[in-house]
Structure 1
Amino acid sequence: MSAAAPALHRTVLRLHRTALACWALFVTAVLGGLGWLGGVSAPHIRHLEATCAPSDLCNIPYVGWVYGERLDNVASVIGYGFLAVAAYAGGALIGREMETGTAQLAWTQGVTPARWLAAKLAVPALALTAGDGVLVAAFRWAWSPHRDLRPGDDWSFGGIFLARGPATPAYALCALAVGALTALLLRRALPALAVSLGATGLLHLVLARVRPYLWPRLTRTEPHAYELDDSAWQVAQGRTAGGGYRATYHPPSHFWPLHLMETGIVLAAAALATAAAFALVRRRTA
């Protein structure tokens, strides 16, 4: 690595220190919320359950519902934060510098376009991976021990599904790469912001739709009507040709195969977008 590389990384840090500070503040705030939910709210509900007499009106079901709703909201903030990353990457990280000519100026100061783009992506990628990794670990700490406080298992819910594993940082890295590629293509901040946000959101919508089919489902057939366990993710149900009842579903043990399959697809999309961005910047500056 040349001596110019550390200086370039320091320049990126200085230019985008406000965004990095906002990211650090966001991670800290979410960690605080998870700490309160897992360390204060859940033990309080446990205390109510242990001390409430049958004749008392303790509102335990309502309190548990509120706890679950708050946890779902935090999961959505963690899992879908990649949309903000896409908007930032397309609009501010790359798009604004392409529109104002700052990038072209940097390329005339001894910094190659490829090295400039590598620094632009490496610094936020490191911050996103570290921050999302901490958030995923904290969410698993807050969610796993208190699943019984909710009326049924919710491992298949959209935000919770993403927030419990590496799909969260994978989506963030993909959003970063798509935002950079879009900005290099359009060279304008606002259009790049809108297109990168829409493209990343569309990718997630497609994967969320096909998620149940990323791993083989189980099938249960009975002669009489039945209900699956609350922990199962029921994908489809119907009648058999012989008049029985059939349901296809995923048990909780399928979480990791499903999650890792989606994570791999998202990382592949991130790699393709990154490669396309480098190829584009090389071709345009050849």
Structure 2
Amino acid sequence: MTSPSATAVSSARTPSGPRGGLFRAVLRLHRTALVLWGLALAAATAYLIWLHTIGGEARRGTSPCAIPASDGLPSCAAVDAITADETYSTGIALVTTALSYLVFPVAAWAGGALIGRELESGTAQLAWTQSVTPARWLAAKLAVPAALLTAGTGTLVVVNRWAQGDGNPNLVGDWYFEDVFLGIGPTAVAYPLAALALGTLTGLLLRRALPAAGVACAAAFVLYNLLERNRENLWPTVTRSESHGFELPRSAWQLGWEGSTSATFHPRSHFWPLQYAETGIVLAVAAAATLAAFWLLRRRTP
């Protein structure tokens, strides 16, 4: 009977070349995760496309109305009868929440199944004694899931923004809400990549599947919450002062009032600067964890 370790090594030495064989070996060993990821992407994409088709009706469910219908406004009874708005808003919230929390399962999988299990079972060590160097083994382990995560989450972000249409906050939430912010910009791609790197580093440190999965998930939790609590400080705020009282528009992320005549806030135009700033920090963490993983692997292998 052929063991999984032998299968992985033989796959890395196919006639098509050791590099291509190594990438195929990674896909073969983790085909279950790959299939689940593909099914999740397909289901989420199809769901968002369907939500887009009911978006127009959902917006009518939140439109102004009159009793009775007058001045071009529909009857409030007709508006109240529209239930697509609740279905639409719930569906969009489900997808954006899933995108923003993807960091946790990715970290657990990377630490446990991707790295920790192979070190614990000896699969990786056996591959290193054959034609695969430790550095190339780790590079393939990172490159394959990184490419799939980038392509998948990037596609979902684009489709999600398309499905949200005009971004009516009554339906999709205000841009500064935690899940909304993380689910409609490049941060949705950066966090899973950081989780992959943190999980890989944790797996190399602990070399056991279950402890690595738990610690990697905890590391992702710390990163996620640290940036979420300090997001407002990633870009300079705006202060508005007037001699008389005033009210900020709903699109403003209100941070504080000083008396009744001065307010500190982020306007809607700060969405992209905040996104880019947070994405840069998260990618820097991913890069640092990746470099640390290669350094640790070099120290622990001949």
TM-score over 0.5 for the pair: yes
Q: Distance in 2 between matches of 1:59 and 1:180?
A: 51
What secondary structure sits across from 1:94 in the alignment? helix
Matched, 1:172 2:198: no
* Structure 2 counterpart of 1:67: 88
1:189-200 alignment runs, 5 A limit:
189-200=209-220
Matched, 1:120 2:136: no
What letter matches 1:267 in structure 2?
L
What secondary structure sits across from 2:131 in the alignment? coil
Residue 55 of structure 1 deviates from its aligned partner by 5.8
Deviations 1:67-114 (A, max 9, x none): 323312210111221211101101101111011111111111121111
Q: Relative to 1, partners in 2 of residues 1:210 and 1:26: Cα closer, same or farther, differing over 3 Å?
A: same
Matched, 1:236 2:256: yes
Matched, 1:80 2:127: no
What letter matches 2:164 in structure 1?
W
Matched, 1:45 2:58: yes
* Structure 1 counterpart of 2:238: 218
Moved more, 258-267 or 219-228: 219-228
Q: Distance in 1 between matches of 2:164 and 2:120?
A: 44
Q: Distance in 1 between matches of 2:136 and 2:280?
A: 27
Residue 201 of structure 1 deviates from its aligned partner by 1.2
Cα pair 1:64 1:149 within 8 Å, conserved = no
Q: Relative to 1, partners in 2 of residues 1:60 and 1:271: Cα closer, same or farther, differing over 3 Å?
A: farther
Which among 236, 246, 269 is matched to residue 285 of structure 2? Answer: 269
1:15-26 alignment runs, 5 A limit:
15-26=29-40
Q: Which has the higher contact order (CA 8 A, sep 6+)?
A: 1
What secondary structure sits across from 2:136 in the alignment? helix
Cα pair 2:55 2:164 within 8 Å, conserved = no
Residue 164 of structure 1 deviates from its aligned partner by 1.3
Query: TM-score, normalising length from structure 2?
Result: 0.86
* Structure 1 counterpart of 2:27: 13
* Structure 2 counterpart of 1:96: 117
Query: TM-score, normalising length from structure 1?
Result: 0.91
What letter matches 1:170 in structure 2?
A
Moved more, 271-280 or 67-76: 67-76
Deviations 1:179-216 (A, max 9, x none): 00000000111110010001011101000111111111
Q: Relative to 1, partners in 2 of residues 1:60 and 1:212: Cα closer, same or farther, differing over 3 Å?
A: farther
What secondary structure sits across from 1:225 in the alignment? coil
* Structure 2 counterpart of 1:129: 150
Number of equivalences: 279
Which among 202, 205, 211 is matched to residue 222 of structure 2? Answer: 202
| Aligned alpha-carbon RMSD (Å) | 2.2
What secondary structure sits across from 1:83 in the alignment? helix
What secondary structure sits across from 1:247 in the alignment? strand
Matched, 1:30 2:40: no
What secondary structure sits across from 2:251 in the alignment? coil
Q: Unpaired runs of 5+ in structure 2? A: 1-15
Residue 158 of structure 1 deviates from its aligned partner by 1.2
Residue 45 of structure 1 deviates from its aligned partner by 2.7
What letter matches 1:67 in structure 2?
Y
What secondary structure sits across from 1:228 in the alignment? coil
Q: Percent identity?
A: 51
Cα pair 1:42 1:146 within 8 Å, conserved = no
Cα pair 1:86 1:178 within 8 Å, conserved = yes
What secondary structure sits across from 1:220 in the alignment? strand
Deviations 1:211-242 (A, max 9, x none): 11111100112334332101111111231xxx
Q: Distance in 1 between matches of 2:78 and 2:144?
A: 54
What letter matches 2:268 in structure 1?
P
Q: Relative to 1, partners in 2 of residues 1:275 and 1:54: Cα closer, same or farther, differing over 3 Å?
A: same
Residue 47 of structure 1 deviates from its aligned partner by 5.8
Residue 62 of structure 1 deviates from its aligned partner by 6.3
Cα pair 2:237 2:264 within 8 Å, conserved = yes
Which among 246, 263, 266 is matched to residue 247 of structure 1? Answer: 263
Q: Relative to 1, partners in 2 of residues 1:65 and 1:223: Cα closer, same or farther, differing over 3 Å?
A: farther
Q: Relative to 1, partners in 2 of residues 1:148 and 1:270: Cα closer, same or farther, differing over 3 Å?
A: closer
